Amino acid sequence: MPHSHYETITTPDGDFDAFCALPETTPAPAVLILQEVFGINDNIRGLAERLADAGYIALAPDVFWRIERRFERKDESGLADGFARLQQLDFDLVPGDLTATMARALAMPECNGRIGAVGFCLGGTLAYLFAATARVDGRGPDAVVSYYGSAVNQMLDLAPRVECPVLFHYGANDPYIPTEKIDEVERAFAGRPDVVLHRYDAGHAFSNWDAPSMYDEQAASTAWPRTLSFLEKHLR
C-alpha cells in the first residue's frame, strides 16, 4: 500500500490541502490528480494510490477549498451538491492554485523534477488549464492527461499556450460533450503529433467506479493503461 497523507499548499490568499500518495521508491515524477465535481473522494484517493503503485508521487489538490474545505461526495447522489460548488468556483483563481500545487510538488524531496497531471470531468478541464497556464521558474508541466473535460472547447484560445504533450479521453456518447465539441478539440490540435485524442463507446465519467450509472468498465480499463503508458513515455 502506498504511504498517503495531506500536504499543505500555500497561496497568497490562504492555504489548502492536497491528498498525497507516495510510491515505494523515490525520487520519482509527480502527477497532480485533478478532481471531479465530487471533490477529493474515495475515487480520487483511489486513483492517487493507483498512480503511487505505478511509481509516481500523486498529489490531489482541494480545488473547492475557498467554497468548502475538503468537500466530498461519493457518487451520483452528490451531483447536485457538486454542481452547486462548481457554480461558485472562480476559474480566474484556479490556475494560481494549480501552479502553487505544482511548485509544492517540485519542491518535495521525493520528486525528481518531472511533473504531469491527470484530470477527470471538472478535472479534465483543469488539466487542460494546467497545461496552458502553470509555469514554475519558467517551465510548465511535462505531460497532461484530460478525461472528458466538458469546458475544454470553451478555452481553445489557450491551445497555443499548451506546450507539453496532452492525451485526451472522451466518451463518444457523453451527454455533456456532444461529438462536435470533441471535434473542435481535435481540430484545435491537428498537426500536433504530441497531442493524442481517444474516443470510447461510453458516456460521461466512464472512469469513475464509484458512480455505477456512469462507470464503463471496458472504456475505463482501456483508457487507464493508455494513461500510464503516456505518463511513462513523457515523465520517465
Active-site residue identified among 75, 97, 111, 204: 204
Active-site residue identified among 121, 164, 169, 234: 121
- Structure confidence at residue 76 (pLDDT): 84
Contact 142, 234 (CB under 8 A): yes
Q: Of 139, 125, 131, 156, whose CA–CA distance to 63 is shortest?
A: 125
Q: Residue 1 above 70 pLDDT?
A: no
Vertex 235, ends 15 and 127: CA angle to 5°? 50
- Structure confidence at residue 75 (pLDDT): 82
Indicate if 204 belongs to the active site: yes
Indicate if 121 belongs to the active site: yes
| Tens digit of each residue's pLDDT (9 = 90 or more) over 75-126 | 888 889 998 999 999 999 999 999 999 999 999 999 999 999 999 999 999 9
Domain boundaries, the chain: 3-235
Output the CA torsion sign for 193, 140, 47, 57: positive
User: What percent of the chain has a predicted confidence (pLDDT) above 90?
Assistant: 96
Could you tell me how far CA 34 lies from the centroid of its own chain? 3
Contact 197, 170 (CB under 8 A): yes
> Any idea which residue has 497568497 for its cell?
12
Contact 48, 4 (CB under 8 A): yes
Q: How many residues does this entry show for the chain?
A: 236
For range 140-165, the mean pLDDT? 97
More confident residue, 3 or 147: 147
Active-site residue identified among 62, 75, 142, 174: 174
| Tens digit of each residue's pLDDT (9 = 90 or more) over 29-65 | 999 999 999 999 999 999 999 999 999 999 999 999 9
Q: Residue 177 above 80 pLDDT?
A: yes
| Tens digit of each residue's pLDDT (9 = 90 or more) over 213-229 | 999 999 999 999 999 99
Model-wide pTM > 0.85: yes
- The x, y and z cell numbers of residue 42, run together, are 474515495
- Structure confidence at residue 209 (pLDDT): 94
Q: Residue 19 above 80 pLDDT?
A: yes
Indicate if 169 belongs to the active site: no
Q: Which superfamily, per CATH, for 3-235? A: Alpha/Beta hydrolase fold, catalytic domain (3.40.50.1820)
Q: Residue 2 above 90 pLDDT?
A: no
The helix/strand/coil state of 150 is: coil
